[in-house]
Amino acid sequence: MSGEAGWLVAVVLSVVGAATPLLLAATGELVAERSGVLNLGVEGMMLVGAVAAFAAASTTGSDTLGILAGAAAGAAMALVFAVLALSLLANQVATGLAITIFGVGLSALAGSGFVGIALEPLPGLAVPGLSDLPVVGRLLFGQDVLVYLSLAMVGAVAYFLGRTRLGLILRAVGDSHDAAHAIGYPVVAIRYAATAFGGLMSGLAGAYMSLAYTPMWAENMTAGRGWIALALVVFATWRPWRLLAGAYLFGGITILQLHAQGAGIAVPSQVMSMLPYLATIAVLVVISRDRAKIRSSAPASIGKAFHPAG
Amino acid sequence: MRIFTTIIALAAVAAAGLVAPAGAAEPMKVGFVYVGPVGDHGWTYRHDVGRRALEQALGSAVKTTAVENVREGADAERVIQQLASTGHRLIFATSFGFMNAVIKVAKRFPKVKFEHATGYKRAPNVSTYMARFYEGRYVIGKIAGQMTKSGIIGYVGSFPIPEVVRGIDAFTLALRSVRPDARVKVVWVNSWYDPGKEGDAAKALIDQGADILVQHTDSPAALQVAQNRGVYAFGQSSDMIAFAPKAQLTAIVDNWDGYYIARTKAVMNGTWKSTDTWGGFDVGMVKMAPYTNMPEDVAAMARKVEDDIRGHRLNPFAGPIRNQAGKLVVKAGASLGDDVLRGLDWYVEGVEGELPK
């Protein structure tokens, strides 16, 4: 493998690593938001997923159990949110923020016994023959299972939302919960399911952080990636395939900024940290200028409490 | 989260203050304020090791309180104030960013003694203390000079403050004394502790040709990356060999035990004075972790350098020193004094990139 290609492959691999947690969390949040639920608790759910995954993997020695534990923990946090916001009709924004703060603290408490433990990172796939191909080998066939899962889920969610009846119902619930209720669809049940899915994906994103990205547990290790995932959903105007592009773009910016520094280019690192949010604001401005665009972009009932009338 | 922890900690401190037994030989209360979690396995962890050493040495004569994850700023002032007002006679504030909070609270509590780590403002009841970590940086620079093949060293920096710049400069001076063509690439992650970013920075540096990593951040993430990628690295603040058994060459270990015990005893005896302590190998404030993963002659060389610095025969900042532009700023025979070192804000020759302002 020539030097140039080797360097490029290494950079792309780093970008894949940086993008995967964003993609996992954002995909889950996208489904929740398309059903009309604005769950701002992504950061908290990711951290709880991270600590659960690490705890399970380090005590049982099984990465699979770790991944499952992370997903379950994320879903559990999401269900707490769901009970508060969907059944008790608490304000969704406030509840989401509370879940984040709660998740940060709970994960730190639960994780205090796991600090200083090192784990082997999630193994990459080893497809005989294919993984050894030059350049594409490691890139396409040598990633760990969560990377492939993140990509598969984007496709699955896109198919589900766009081409299945249940996906249509979910979108209907998100666009007009009163109309959906009038037709007879179980709005609250659908939102519960969507929220739980969102939490499950956030938990997987956290599991990726603590099992593959930096295989350790450290308080607050997601360091704001949950917020970036939230911004990512808006940046992608709630469309799954745009999520993919956005996640790799946001991940790429981080990695590129570090490379720029290493190459001696004096880009203030704070500017680079701002870029994902600046990009999201720009997208919001663009889609808000046209009333028709807004209607076709954001789920119309997002964040609104559902009061069944009759 | 930090607010949550701080509130819980404050409540606990207040409760402890109320429940303190009123009897003869009441233990002296000593407070510790940490900027990060004890679980960072680095900077804060080593301060906590010092705190536990203090408890072990003085037993029931002393009672310590530690508050972790205290963010620099208003939070810090509240926590330090709370400690001062609940009977703590000596308070250690272990981060540069606590400086203004310490000075403010010290004015309101003239009888309480404060010790501020890595700061430069003092008062009649405020001392400052710091360790000459750059001595350790010099040792690892020599090791890196021997061990590097590509001649490119990756340096994961936190914030461009003088302490970090001192470390980079001392390291580079030692590196180039062994390998004159070696270069140091610095990446700033703008955090003392962010495993994800530190890991990313490490990957980026390795991808740019670095075959040895150095860090001035607190998590073992960069070492893990080094281990996975098959390059060498140095641990920071504590021995991180558990995270990188094949990659860690050594680590610079902070050792606050002796200082904490001595200062607490001074308060007990009434001999405490406001001082500025800047100790290195000579007083045991800086130690090196066991030398691993290197040939024995490199380890022997490192031990000799350590010894020479300890015995004041070798000064890491002795001339000739050229700045990044190649201009000779310190002649042979002269050296950079402590006051220059305290405010050091320029790179020496061999460091790539611009120092952010």
Residue A204 to residue A200: CA distance in whole angstroms: 6
Reported as a single tens digit per residue, the pLDDT across B167-196 is 999 999 999 999 999 999 999 988 888 889
pLDDT band at A294 (very low <50, low <70, confident <90, very high): low
Q: Is residue B273 part of a domain?
A: no
Assess whether B112 and B139 both reside in one domain: no
pLDDT band at A1 (very low <50, low <70, confident <90, very high): very low
Owning domain of residue B112: 2-131
What integer pLDDT is reported at residue A208 of this predicted model?
Answer: 97
Domain count, chain B: 2
pLDDT band at A3 (very low <50, low <70, confident <90, very high): low
Helix/strand/coil for B32: strand
Residue B345 to residue B356: CA distance in whole angstroms: 10
Separation of first and last alpha carbons in chain A: 68
Reported as a single tens digit per residue, the pLDDT across B10-22 is 766 666 555 544 4
Average pLDDT over residues B323-334: 92
Assess whether B165 and B299 both reside in one domain: yes
Average pLDDT over residues B315-342: 92
Last residue of a domain, one of B87, B108, B131: B131
Cβ-defined contact of A259 to B208 (cutoff 8 Å): yes
Q: Is residue A302 part of a domain?
A: no
pLDDT of residue B4 exceeding 80, the answer is no
What integer pLDDT is reported at residue A116 of this predicted model?
Answer: 80
What integer pLDDT is reported at residue B17 of this predicted model?
Answer: 53
- Provide the strand spans (E) within B137-200: 152-157, 183-188
Distance from CA of A216 to the nearest CA of B (A): 8
Specify the range with the lowest mean pLDDT, choosing from A174-178, A242-246, A271-275, B46-50.
A271-275
Reported as a single tens digit per residue, the pLDDT across B275-325 is 999 999 999 999 999 999 999 999 999 999 999 999 999 999 998 999 999
pLDDT of residue A53 exceeding 70, the answer is yes
Q: Is residue A310 part of a domain?
A: no
Cβ-defined contact of B353 to A264 (cutoff 8 Å): yes
Reported as a single tens digit per residue, the pLDDT across B98-157 is 999 999 999 999 999 999 998 888 999 999 999 999 999 999 999 999 999 999 999 999
B353/A contact by beta carbon, under 8 A: yes
Residues of B in contact with A16 (CB under 8 A): none
What integer pLDDT is reported at residue A112 of this predicted model?
Answer: 87
Residue B170 to residue B135: CA distance in whole angstroms: 7
Q: What's the mean pLDDT when you consider all of chain A?
A: 90
pLDDT of residue B9 exceeding 70, the answer is no
Q: What is the CATH number for B340?
A: 3.40.50.2300
* Lookup: tokens for B235: 């641990």
Q: Is residue B348 part of a domain?
A: yes
Cβ-defined contact of B188 to A213 (cutoff 8 Å): no
Reported as a single tens digit per residue, the pLDDT across B54-96 is 999 999 999 999 999 898 888 999 999 999 999 999 999 999 8
Assess whether B108 and B215 both reside in one domain: no
Assess whether B100 and B139 both reside in one domain: no
Q: What is the CATH number for A293?
A: 1.10.3470
Return the residue of B nearest to A210 by Cα.
B196
Domain count, chain A: 1
Return the residue of B nearest to A122 by Cα.
B228
Residue B191 to residue A159: CA distance in whole angstroms: 40
Q: Is residue B196 part of a domain?
A: yes
Distance from CA of A13 to the nearest CA of B (A): 10
Return phi, psi of residue A27, to 5°: -60, -45
pLDDT of residue A10 exceeding 90, the answer is no
Assess whether B42 and B172 both reside in one domain: no
Assess whether B148 and B109 both reside in one domain: no
Return phi, psi of residue A78, to 5°: -65, -35
Reported as a single tens digit per residue, the pLDDT across A96-151 is 999 999 999 999 999 988 988 888 888 888 777 777 777 777 788 888 999 999 99
What integer pLDDT is reported at residue B22 of this predicted model?
Answer: 46
Assess whether B149 and B117 both reside in one domain: no
pLDDT of residue A288 exceeding 80, the answer is no
Residues of A in contact with B219 (CB under 8 A): 214, 216, 218
Assess whether B300 and B195 both reside in one domain: yes
Assess whether B158 and B193 both reside in one domain: yes
Nearest CA to A117 out of A43, A57, A49 is that of A57
Assess whether B292 and B145 both reside in one domain: yes
pLDDT of residue A308 exceeding 90, the answer is no
Residues of chain A whose beta carbon is less than 8 angstroms from a beta carbon of chain B are 7, 10-11, 14, 17-18, 101, 104-105, 108, 111-112, 115-116, 118, 121, 209, 213-216, 218-223, 225, 254-255, 258-259, 261-266, 268-270, 273
C-alpha angle with apex B303: B300 to B307, nearest 5 degrees?
A: 140
Residues of A in contact with B193 (CB under 8 A): 218
Reported as a single tens digit per residue, the pLDDT across B23-63 is 446 899 999 999 888 877 678 889 999 999 999 999 999 99
Q: Which of A108, A213, A262 is closest, CB to CB, to B185?
A: A262
pLDDT band at A309 (very low <50, low <70, confident <90, very high): low
Owning domain of residue A263: 3-297
Last residue of a domain, one of B131, B163, B194: B131
Specify the range with the lowest mean pLDDT, choosing from A65-74, A182-191, A255-264, A293-302.
A293-302
Please name the residue that has the structure tokens 């009897």.
Answer: B23
C-alpha angle with apex B30: B159 to B275, nearest 5 degrees?
A: 60
Cβ-defined contact of B354 to A264 (cutoff 8 Å): yes
pLDDT band at A17 (very low <50, low <70, confident <90, very high): very high
Residue B101 to residue B121: CA distance in whole angstroms: 11
Q: Which of B4, B195, B224 is closest, CB to CB, to A221?
A: B195
Nearest CA to A203 out of A262, A256, A146, A140 is that of A146
Q: Is residue A63 part of a domain?
A: yes
The helix (run of H) or strand (run of E) holding residue A130 is none
Return the residue of B nearest to A220 by Cα.
B194
Assess whether B121 and B147 both reside in one domain: no
* Partners of residue B113 on adjacent β-strands: B90
What integer pLDDT is reported at residue B1 of this predicted model?
Answer: 64
Last residue of a domain, one of B72, B106, B131: B131
Q: Is residue B262 part of a domain?
A: no
Burial of B302 (0-12, 13-18, 19+ CB in 10 A): buried
Residue B95 to residue B119: CA distance in whole angstroms: 8
Assess whether B170 and B222 both reside in one domain: yes
* Lookup: tokens for A218: 């450290």
State the CB neighbour count (10 A cutoff) for residue A54: 30
Residue B219 to residue B43: CA distance in whole angstroms: 9
Average pLDDT over residues A143-162: 95
DSSP sequence for A28-44: HHHHHHHTT----THHH
Helix runs in chain A, H state only: 3-34, 42-60, 63-82, 92-111, 136-141, 145-163, 165-175, 177-183, 187-208, 225-235, 240-262, 269-289, 291-297
Distance from CA of B149 to the nearest CA of A (A): 16
Average pLDDT over residues B326-338: 92
